[in-house]
A and B are shown apart, each in its own frame.
Chain A
Amino acid sequence: MPPVGPRSGDAIFANIERVNAELFTLTYGAIVRQLLTDLEEVEEVNKQLDQMGYNIGIRLIDEFLAKSNVSRCVDFKETAEVIAKVGFKMFLGVTASVTNWDADGTCCSIVLEDNPLVDFVELPDTCQGLYYCNILSGVVRGALEMVSMKTEISWIRDMLRGDDAFELQVKLLKQIPEEYPYKDDE
């Protein structure tokens, strides 16, 4: 059987089972509202959203690899392109772009012009410090950690705070090769 090449984000997205976009937006909104009620502090909610995203990302990565057939990326630049063009397309239905590379190629920005999580959303004055889409930063961080990359992810631009796009800065801290034996101290 000849090896199958990597699939484009559009091709995968076209073949995947869909859900009503409004249901998705409403569900996410309900999660954020509940977290705000339970945790009260905006900073705590940001942290919890990131943690939830991380727990999603560590599982999502295998789904991504299985469906997209991408082979190992040669460098971090390729990784960022794959996340933006295939990953975001496959899971959110939007294509992101990669910009602002630093000199060593370890830090870049992923820019989203469109974001289904924030349809119909407006941040009230009481939630000014909230990163509403912080689950996304957790997802990317978790996913990359499972393929041996430790990253630091932060929001540079946020449309709910008045900017013209969503810009996520992704910084590669280090590549961590797998360690054997696993430490059983948790």
Chain B
Amino acid sequence: MAAIYSLYIISKSGGLIYYNQLSPVSGCFGIELLQADTFDLNCFQSLTGTKFFVVSEPGTQHMEGLLKHIYELYTDYVLKNPFYEMEMPIRCELCDINLTQAVQKDRVALLAR
């Protein structure tokens, strides 16, 4: 029988309501990459428990770098905004603008190959 690594239950508003890590692999900190036929799901987990997921075209390179960059944008435009309340939905325009720019730059780099 196949081993189950972890179980997530997410509510319709996107909140994680149940999580169980059952991985028999020691030193495992959670999902990093999920490869499917029509998409790749890349994940970065910070040591503070915040998880960043990016769904991309299968085989897209440098997603790790993009995720790290997104983490840095999060620490700048979200956490350094004193009016942002922790753990609440992000409604910061500066964050939207910069995240979009980061993703566009990535797309341009890919299209240029």
Contacts and interface: CB of A to CB of B under 8 A. Distances in A.
A62 B18 contact: no
Contacts of A147: 47-48
A72 B47 contact: yes
Contacts of A136: none
Contacts of B65: 1
Given A59-B80, A63-B79, A63-B80, A178 B49 contact: yes
A146 B64 CA distance: 23
A89 to B, nearest CB: 18
A66 B75 contact: yes
A147 to B, nearest CB: 5
Interface in B54-88: 62, 64-65, 68, 71-72, 74-76, 79-80, 86-87
A62 B75 contact: yes
B16 A181 contact: yes
Interface string A63-80: 101110000100000000
A146 B48 contact: yes
A62 B17 contact: no
Interface residues of A, number: 17
Contacts of B80: 59, 63
B38 interface: no
B19 A62 contact: no
A58 interface: yes
Nearest to B80: A59
Given A59-B80, A66-B68, A67-B72, A180 B48 contact: no
A90 interface: no
A59 B79 contact: yes
A180 B75 contact: no
B13 interface: no
A60 B72 CA distance: 12
Interface of A: 1, 58-63, 65-67, 72, 146-147, 178, 180-182
Q: Top 9 nearest A-B pairs by Cβ distance?
A: A59-B79, A63-B75, A62-B75, A180-B19, A181-B17, A146-B48, A66-B72, A66-B75, A66-B71
10 contacts: A1-B65, A59-B79, A62-B50, A62-B74, A63-B80, A66-B74, A146-B49, A180-B16, A181-B17, A182-B87
